[in-house]
Structure 1
Amino acid sequence: MSDIHLNGVPIDELIARARDAALDRDLANINCCTCRELGPLLGGGGLPTAPKSQPKIRQPGPTAPSPAYTPQENEAMNFRKVAATVGLAALGAVACQGETTATSKEPEAREQFTKQLVAESRSKQISPTNVEQAIRSTMSEQYGDSFDSGLGCWRYALEANGERYEYCMAPRGHQLVETSQGQMLYFFASNRSDIKDDPKYLYSLPDSGVMGAFALRLNSSSAWTLTAATKDLDFGSIGNCGCESAKLVKLGREYYGWMFVSGGVWQGIASLSHNLVAPHRKEFVDLSEIPMQTESDQDSEYRIEIDDSSVDEDHYPVIVTKVRPGGDSERTKVAFDRTRWRYSLPK
């Protein structure tokens, strides 16, 4: 039993709650559909359920909503906080009668998104309307004419393992960057995982979330040209990609990507990874094969930071620090592998 606590609750208890809540959520989803189709014939108890089959999930393990990437956080508890967040995310299960519905924070998010548009655009002397139109146009090109004005996102469906998964994609963080080729607009999208009153947007533990990543260049006529795009990178569990707090970081002289932590809890075992989503040719890929916490070592944590000491390098190395219980640490400098287009720890 671990003696580490989060908000006064032992971490082992939080992990156990996460597992139990995920099972409850599966049961609530099936009961919801049963009630809609047949009416309340089962006295409110519903049917027992088997786990949903797993869609296309990247290894290692699933991901979960993570806090903003802050390598300077408490060295003993950073990865524990992320693992606990996975558990707490599963506590939002909704019964089919619809008596309780989670309050969405989407209006607040939209307001923050608009404020960011204005601030970023003014700093780069580009009209906020120009940037907003570029983002909306790209979303429609990528996800189709499927904007749901009530939810503020684009409906999108994926087929995997013979099953259909429904998502509603919303634009998230964006940033304007000045380069030698002109101004670039980077933004990403993720599916909304906070929609609780529609069964098709309720997810089980194995269900990954979706991230879209896009880069556009401003041409001489003040129009934006798409230079790289991937609309359906899959990360995570419980329908949450864990990328909503991603930060755009400089990975090279004129090379940028989104940094975040993904991971999840499977049968009480946390598996967390560092992600660096950046352009490669005309697509976005995850450059990182660096874990944050491994299944085989639940007590150690890997942290990464970008080493930009040589500012003219096309691809900066990363510094990986392995922190062990008691505060012992081991630092490794990892160069970018241009052949594999990856950062990975030496074997």
Structure 2
Amino acid sequence: MRCGCIASTIAIARWPRFIIEALDDDGYLRQDLADLADSVDLEPELTEDELLVALRLVQSLDRPGLGARSLSECLSLQVNALPDDTPGREVARQIVDHHLERLARREQAELQKQIGCSADELRVACALVRKLDPKPGNCYGRTEDNYVVPDVIVRQVRNKWAVAINPAVQPRARIHRMYAELFAQSAGASRSPLAQQLQEARWLIRNAQQRFDTIQRVAECIVAHQKAFFQYGEIALKPMVLRDVADELGLHESTISRATGNKYMATPRGIFEFKHFFPRELGTESGGTCSAAAVRALLKEMIAAENARDPLSDVSLARMLADQGVLVARRTVAKYRHLMKVPPAELRRQM
């Protein structure tokens, strides 16, 4: 009898391993328990109820929120793990269990009505919910740091902008002079297969150098056209297309496209992709033009200066741009706001 109990205990201790292996990088169990039970190769077969027991064991680990099947359950596990005397704990539990969508929409009055609490109690509870970790598994996952190595470096030298190829990206291939001379002195060198390989090596080095020369010429042209950006920032970016650079350098537009694709420029204002300097053109009330990047910069300034309790809607932002002579539709404002990863007005409103 005792041996049977020990064997049963050992089997139960193995169950959480299947749950842990099924967790995603955020610490969530996205797979249905029934499907997980079918996928586990174990004799006797695990049942859904047994996996539920294992799930509860995983959810009781030191990191509250692990093993959750939804955002609401994840936050609820963390609230339940807080000490009983934590201010706002009970109201926070009701919010994460039933009213997360209202919290996201910042519907303060409706939350007070549904929960039956005061404004101060709701404020404390909301602050508590915001401190919770929606992705508890991230602290255990491996994060890969992806670094951008700029292809060109732009510096201001004696009030002029100088462009130079980053030495770190330039190839250091070369033909050893001694071997090249020995080969040239050998009999029948010009007809040897090695002669063709030597010529191909020279072409390769020459083509690589020509490629970086093209990149530098394109970068210098960009800096010359967008000089105001380096002085004043995003708001001074001018509309520009690849054809402008192609015509000035006497190259085909496809060559400029290849020279700017996945290329980066290090400037005193940060590292930017070459394509960042080719914003599209927008019309103004006076008949002139401005760049889409300049409009996004204006929107960023307007949103930063707005009243947090009464944020600006897309219609209001479009109207303010029109007052400055920039005519854009509301849907264009919404598009640019989305590109800047700025939420809509109702989600920016602070309680």
TM-score for both structures, normalised by structure 2: 0.22
TM-score for both structures, normalised by structure 1: 0.22
Larger radius of gyration: 2
Q: Which has the higher strand share?
A: 1
Q: Which has the higher helix share?
A: 2
Compare relative contact order (CA 8 Å, sep 6+) and give the higher one, 1 or 2: 1
